[in-house]
Chains A and B, each alone.
Chain A
Amino acid sequence: MTDFLDNFLDDYFAEAEEHLAVIRRALLTLEHSVGQRRIDGGVLEELFRSFHSLKGIAGMVDHRETEALAHELESYLRALREGDVILTTGGMDLLIKGAGALEASIAARRAKGPARDTGVVVEEIQSLITRDGTSQPAAKPESRGRGNWLCTFTPSPALIARGVNVDVVRSRLREIGEIITAAPMVNAQGSVAFQFEVSAAVSDELIERWQPDGLHFTPIAPGGAPGARAGADDRSGSILSSGHYVRVDLARLDELMRMIGNLVILRSRLTDTLARSERHMPPGQYREVQDDAEAIERELRELREGVMRIRLVPVGEIFRRMPFVVRDLARDSGRSVNVVLSGQDTKIDKFLVERMMDPVLHLVRNAVSHGIETPVERGAAGKPPAATIRLSASASGETVVIEIADDGRGIDVDKVTARAKQAGLPVPSGTIDAVALLELISAPGFSTRDASDRVSGRGFGMNVVRETLQELGGTMQVETHPGEGTRFIIELPLTLAIAAAMLARVGDQIFAVPQAAVREVAEFEAASIRAMQGAEVVEFRGAPLPVVRLSTALNVAPSDATRFHAFIIGSGAAAVGLLVDRIVGHREIVVRTTADPLIRVEGVSGATDLGDGRAVLILDAGAIARQARDRHGRRGLTVVRGIA
């Protein structure tokens, strides 16, 4: 049996992860129903089914602790569903604790670690069902207008003899309103009944008239059913095993992307060969081949986008964990925090979701540990006692923007500089702006940890956040205002592997700059570059723009060009222009990251093959701009105001 089971463990873990994701999402929705007698039926059903399915598959792979715990959680859900217990804060806490214990138990099994003892949680749930039990009848609704109703029809031979069957019931319900869902059920007596969720105007008279026909109506809270359906719709586009979906191993998609990458390179080679062949071919024939090559390029782009879309999953996968983390952390540290999520449906590469989980977790933990004041402090500052952490995501072209904002005390720049000096880190003199501040807190060795922080000991600091982002080709900015809060803005490419890039010539070399990093392209006369306080600037849109000659930054022999093209990186006061001799083209490039620390160079994020056998370095424009700001000081870049 053990050999048999071993074949299915990976399936079990993958499917368990899907159920846990559904559970987390449903628990967040359910939290709003604490203390209410009527709970959103769709959410309860979803939770119930997930615990039930998890129990089933855990049992099959002989994972007893998980099976037992899922069984208890299922029992509690059943009691809630049947109205035997009311959802209390304690119950909600226990559901969350139970879900966490399930996750830990499955993770322990996956890591082949010692089994987690779930017995304590199981007992807690058992006693909760007994304690929260109620025999009070459900409260009667005051309004009986058009609303959502749960209509239960219990068929019997006598009713059928009188011509009342499930089809007749369905027709009757359609006459008075809209049927939202229809499902059979087994009632407590073991007989089959049908449950219809309807949106209809149900009068007292109707309820009485239909009662002898075996129909029973219960009102449900508005928005319940549509919410449940929206949850189901959420799944569209994601990779699930149910219905019309297939589950695909990410490695296979990587392989597919690699093959497409090779095709992109071959396509580039074709362009070059074609350009060289033009003079040897009759013009008509050349045009035909040229048209075909362009058609291949278009198809290739669609193929790439198609595969990319398969890899995209909602960023909500990262977000949904956060309320639980915040909840625990806030409780332990005596803070009151609301988490507001938005843009959860923004899609991002699955790989990025996995890699971004820890950085976002870290920023959220930091917000609770360092950013948010105690309710008393907040009261004294005239703020509401409960703080708010906002997590939002949005897509903008080829990038995804993730924001983590809190309304806490803001980053204390003086404290940060003092700590940095203490740690022996170089601290720039003069005003510390947002860019410098981020540099300081992201420096290796920097820590504002207090011994009591739960964050400490996790080996994950801001420098790891920054490194992860660099590796993923992303950028981070911070905005902080004393007493008002802090906002981290993360920009990530939608996907890795293949990116649109601009090719530029510097001296006798060609470099690629990912288009996602470039805000704008401009052209300047060499004569218009002026030296200002040791740095070079040009006049751009009525303001001085600091510029960096890439030839200097990369130690490439400079050319004697009289005009420069510039990539404008960053926006507002953080904008920097990277000067190149000439922008020579626009290509889709296959990104090969240089993850090897031995060959990693600041300012170079990877390499690509243009198809003609030439390897071209891909520049990390953000890092070069950052270095430039460091080198030249930060005149005109102050973002944080009111901080000395």
Chain B
Amino acid sequence: MLARRFMSHILIVDDSQTIRRMVKASLAPLGVEFIEASSGLEAIERLAVGSIQLMVLDLNMPDMHGLEVLGFVRANQKFQQLPILVLTTRDDAASRTAAMQAGATAYLTKPFTPQTLLGEARGLLERTVEGTR
């Protein structure tokens, strides 16, 4: 089991507290620890100071767009392998393409079901674990 191997930290970046709570509730079965950020700048700060195994990232945020966060994160050598799941209401092809080009690992649109998010996150974490073994 994933959780037994090491304690994973998931960074949830969304300016909506409701969404952050929903993400946490959906991913609770993973038995991981959650770190929350409500803005892009805060996300980068948390990333810089903590050990994060997965980032769930919203695109539309007040201070810094999710794409800018992606750009910053991917430009940094240290975070190039970090799986980033973009979770957004933007369901148009242009947004999806822009996010994937900017370095998103996966793209999921809101509204999401807890099962879909859980499946996606589990897959991303397992791939990382295999990659780092």
Count of chain B residues with Cβ under 8 Å from any Cβ of A? 32
Taking the nearest CB of chain A, how far is it from the CB of B112, in angstroms?
A: 8
Taking the nearest CB of chain B, how far is it from the CB of A81, in angstroms?
A: 13
Binds A, one of B4-12, B91-99, B125-133: B91-99
Please tell me if the beta carbons of A59 and B15 are within 8 angstroms of each other in the complex: no
Please tell me if the beta carbons of B17 and A247 are within 8 angstroms of each other in the complex: yes
* Complex: chain A residue closest to B59, CB-CB: A186
Which residues on the A side are within 8 Å of B110 (C-beta)? 56, 59-60
Which residues on the A side are within 8 Å of B38 (C-beta)? 241-243
Which residues on the A side are within 8 Å of B62 (C-beta)? 49, 232, 242
Determine which of A15, A61, A62, A243 lies in contact with B39 in the assembled complex, contact meaning CB atoms within 8 Å. A243
Which residues on the A side are within 8 Å of B64 (C-beta)? 183-184
Cα A291 to Cα B16 in complex, Å, equals 48
Binary CB contact string for chain A from 150 to 194 against chain B (1 if under 8 A, 0 otherwise) = 000000000000000000000000000000000111101111100
Cα A8 to Cα B20 in complex, Å, equals 11
For residue A285, CB closer than 8 A to chain B, the reply is no
Classify the secondary structure of B's interface with A. helix
* Complex: chain A residue closest to B60, CB-CB: A52
Please tell me if the beta carbons of B67 and A186 are within 8 angstroms of each other in the complex: yes
Determine which of B16, B65, B95, B111 lies in contact with A15 in the assembled complex, contact meaning CB atoms within 8 Å. B16
Which residues on the B side are within 8 Å of A60 (C-beta)? 18-19, 22, 110-112
Binary CB contact string for chain B from 95 to 121 against chain A (1 if under 8 A, 0 otherwise) = 101100110000000111110000000
Cα A183 to Cα B72 in complex, Å, equals 13
Within 8 A of B (CB), among A42-71: 49, 52-53, 55-57, 59-62
Cα A59 to Cα B70 in complex, Å, equals 25
Cα A143 to Cα B71 in complex, Å, equals 37
Please tell me if the beta carbons of B60 and A53 are within 8 angstroms of each other in the complex: yes
For residue A278, CB closer than 8 A to chain B, the reply is no
Cα A8 to Cα B22 in complex, Å, equals 7
Which residues on the A side are within 8 Å of B25 (C-beta)? 4, 7-8
Which residues on the A side are within 8 Å of B111 (C-beta)? 59-60, 62
Please tell me if the beta carbons of B65 and A185 are within 8 angstroms of each other in the complex: yes
Contact count A vs B, C-beta below 8 Å: 81
With A15-B16, A184-B68 as given contacts, are A192 and B89 in contact (CB-CB < 8 Å)? no
Cα A191 to Cα B102 in complex, Å, equals 10
* Complex: chain B residue closest to A63, CB-CB: B111
Cα A175 to Cα B17 in complex, Å, equals 39
For residue A12, CB closer than 8 A to chain B, the reply is yes
Please tell me if the beta carbons of A56 and B19 are within 8 angstroms of each other in the complex: yes
* Complex: chain A residue closest to B65, CB-CB: A184
* Complex: chain B residue closest to A59, CB-CB: B111
Which residues on the A side are within 8 Å of B65 (C-beta)? 183-185
* Complex: chain B residue closest to A183, CB-CB: B65
Which residues on the A side are within 8 Å of B19 (C-beta)? 56-57, 60
Cα A242 to Cα B60 in complex, Å, equals 13
Please tell me if the beta carbons of B94 and A15 are within 8 angstroms of each other in the complex: no
For residue B42, CB closer than 8 A to chain A, the reply is yes
Binding site for A on B (CB under 8 A): 15-19, 21-22, 25-26, 38-39, 42, 60, 62, 64-65, 67-68, 71, 89, 93-95, 97-98, 101-102, 110-114
Show 17 residue pairs from A and B whose CB-CB distance is below 8 angstroms, ordered by the A residue: A4-B114, A49-B62, A52-B89, A53-B60, A57-B19, A60-B110, A61-B18, A183-B68, A184-B64, A184-B67, A184-B68, A190-B98, A191-B98, A192-B67, A192-B101, A242-B39, A247-B17
Shortest 8 CB-CB contacts between residues of A and residues of B = A190-B94, A241-B17, A59-B111, A184-B68, A11-B18, A56-B89, A60-B111, A186-B98
11 additional contacts (CB under 8 A) given A55-B89, A184-B68: A11-B21, A15-B18, A56-B110, A60-B22, A60-B110, A60-B112, A188-B94, A190-B95, A242-B15, A242-B39, A243-B39
